[in-house]
Amino acid sequence: MSIQTRGSATPPPHLLGVLRSLWHWRTPIILVTAAGTLLAIVIALLLPEYYSGKTSFLAISPDQISIDGVFGNNNNRMQFYGTGDDIDRIMAVAESDALVDYMVDAFKLYTVYDIDSSKQKAPVYVRREFMGLYEVTKTSRDAIELEVEDQDPERAAQMARAAREKINDIALGLIRGTQNRSAESLRGEIANREENLREINTRLSEIRQRSGIYNTEAQSEALATISTSLKGSIASTTAKLEAYRRTGGRGSRDSIAKYRIQLAGLESSRTSLDTQLVRLNESLGPIDNLEEERLRLNDALSKDRIRLKQFESVLRTDQRAIEVVEEAKTPVIKSRPMRSLIVVGAAMLSFLFAVVGALLIDTGRRYDWGAIFK
């Protein structure tokens, strides 16, 4: 179906025709533009003013507040400031529920944002309102920038500072929580080693009392010396006794009797010495094993105690998880609304809509719509 026009000629499809239409509709265009501009001025004047509190900081590397970093237990190059993962961890903390809940309670945001806290969805509304005025971003130089908007400039700066310090506390709490768990694990390990050491000492005491061996090295040397000396004495006495037996005579009988008594005493001493040597040999292995285990436990216990003291020392120190680069100052210039931009933008949009509407209406009048939809 072809489109029929009311006039005998088709409107000229060039700029002159467009300008002619706009000139014809100049008064409505001006009125619409003026009305839109006036409405934008009224709305812009009614919009509340917001001020932005800004602060920026750097994430500190966990190496700076670890016992290995503080006491130099590793030989790796120490990082002073956090890298990608550390920055991401701080960013996650900055957007956590713990931070939002703290800010809501600390600054009574239900009252500030005029939200009824008794409603069931009030926590959702206050969080949504706060997050709309709160922004955390990472700059191109790996700094973290925190911004909080509020209608009160002083409160905006205070909220920015408070949020930053709470981020530091939460991040530090995560690190200290790990350190505390490690310290508690060390305390349990130390208690277990001390109990094992007491058991070893008890077993050593029992073996030594039963065997009479208190110093294996010294007593082994002493018994070996006594055994050698005793063997020599027995051999000498035996030789003398045999000599007197061969000699015979009345005087020899007395000497023989004397040397027999001496030999019997020496033999008895050797029997006692052999018994001690048997005990020594039986106890030497268990005693040496227990002594070696005790030395190992003492060494491990000493290292654990040193490491526990390092943990306790680090936990007592004043640590930080972030380093402030720029402090939040009370803003003196509002961040929004930009009333001039709102008015200019509304004027341009009103003019554009008026022009488009005028052209559409003027073009539509050129067609016989009754014949088109007939």
Same domain, 361 and 271: no
Give the chain's largest Cα–Cα span. 180
- The residues, any chain, with a CB within 8 Å of residue 256's CB and separated by 6 or more, are 241, 244, 245
User: Does the residue 83 lie in any domain?
Assistant: no
Q: Measuring CA to CA, how many Å separate 187 from each of 163, 193, 288, 300?
A: 35, 10, 29, 13
User: Does the residue 221 lie in any domain?
Assistant: yes
Average pLDDT of the chain to the nearest whole number = 77
Q: Is the pLDDT of residue 247 over 90?
A: no
Same domain, 232 and 307: yes
Query: In terms of residue numbers, what domain contains 217?
Result: 213-316
Entry pTM? 0.63
User: Does the residue 245 lie in any domain?
Assistant: yes
pLDDT at 365: 66
- In this prediction, residue 17 has a pLDDT band, given cuts at 50, 70 and 90, of low
Same domain, 357 and 312: no
Q: Is the pLDDT of residue 161 over 90?
A: yes
User: Does the residue 25 lie in any domain?
Assistant: yes
Same domain, 356 and 268: no
51 forms bridges with which residues in the sheet?
150
User: Does the residue 85 lie in any domain?
Assistant: no
Mean pLDDT computed over 135-159 = 90
Q: Is the pLDDT of residue 165 over 50?
A: yes
User: 321, 315, 328: which is closest to 94 by C-alpha?
Assistant: 321
pLDDT at 2: 44
Q: Is the pLDDT of residue 227 over 60?
A: yes
Q: Which of 42-46, 86-90, 220-224, 234-238: highest mean pLDDT?
A: 86-90
Same domain, 311 and 243: yes
Domain count, the chain: 2
Mean pLDDT computed over 82-104 = 87
User: Does the residue 22 lie in any domain?
Assistant: yes
Same domain, 304 and 357: no
pLDDT at 127: 92
Same domain, 221 and 307: yes
- With residues binned 3-state (H G I as helix, E B as strand, rest as coil), the percentages for the chain, rounded to 5, are 70, 10, 20
Mean pLDDT computed over 167-172 = 89
User: Does the residue 228 lie in any domain?
Assistant: yes
User: Does the residue 149 lie in any domain?
Assistant: no
Same domain, 309 and 361: no
More confident residue, 183 or 21: 183
